[in-house]
Chains A and B, each alone.
Chain A
């Protein structure tokens, strides 16, 4: 594999006047080129995030955004379209007409086809022009928000047209999915490294940009009381749930090829698991944090093909009536093959073969058309060694349920700790109560969206929350055996009705370990 090493930008000497307690983090001037600018991601996430950063003066005055896609449009038409999208998709914030007018002055459009060399020349000309008119200092951040099949082609073309170098730094953000399997991910890495050094590549996993996922690190390593209990001696098992109530919502064509395991577990949820289970970094910087995440992923036990049916469950939703409304099954969704073998639900038991986690099951499940949209991580502590108390339940008395720590990622971000408390009245009966921390009520300010955080990080050259080549490689390695077995399995789909918590085989998978899925 050839790796291109490019000179790193000069590191600024400490400025004695800077005040990190009060000043916003400095982001250098730059231009952002978005390929696939007329697509859904740009409209729903990227432009609203950039507008919001501009609104909050988090991006420098010397910046420009160049959108590019096949749709022929003028700058003004692009601005008008993006204005509608930003006004519609801005999260938790009002739209300000005056701010938009000012923001739009830095918004440009270059129509082009990724297959045509002329398009790259047009982009280069525009960037040269903006370097002078908008003082972008030659710094360019490319954002590949295109069909994944174009990633390698686009990056190689950037190299051929000399767009990977210039007067300032050059970086590229690549959206998921990063490859379709282990082989294609490695091939894609190889192609990208022909043009960009690893330090210039920002593989985005928007889950890592979520405030509450970042808060896991603060919670674990900023508090002294939890880390000593964060191991196999005290933790019985971990459940990670990422449920969506919606179906494929017009993405049937894409989703049919991807499936839940690829779409969620290979990337987002394996990164969340790594964040939950990684060792403390020695220093909180990009390399150290990512080293620990990668190390953790490499410690995940790779399943043997014969173990896959025991530790992984695929599901697909069928039609059902939810809330009085008929919901179609996956196979009835538009652009979906009526015999599709796609997993719209996946549940996997992972084991991490290291000193801290040996034999502790990490159950990960994700699915579409589940009862509600929720993402959380539940750390189930072991029961006390001696059952002194009985717990009051509707069905009478039973043994106590152990402590549960829930880290809620969405929608109500926060942390809950379940513990037992004596029920009022005579007799020593206990019942579980919950101690809640709610992110929104303790930090009144609006939390930035994942894309705001990640875009700003990429502009500032901080890759801590981006996935590195070895992390991507490791996460593909842990799901590849499952994908291989599933590819040769003829599932009896659908196996769970829309609006339920998944197939019964997933319950059985946990029951074999003496566990049950919690209801989030």
Chain B
């Protein structure tokens, strides 16, 4: 999976990142248990501040899409029964 952040886009970088991850989870590209890249690694790759990536991860965790395990990293969580994964469009509209 490839993520893309456009600094010139109207959406904030953390929102762009979050929307792409949500879309990938919904599409099954990131199955439950998949380990997300460490915050510092992704921030370095995308030339973003670590806080920006951390915010995107926090939002994903708040949505129940990922589970943070401290130093052991962040993984895609199992979808709760009866609650479908929100699609990227819905998340972007929030």
A and B interact physically: no
User: B residues bordering A, Cβ < 8 Å?
Assistant: none
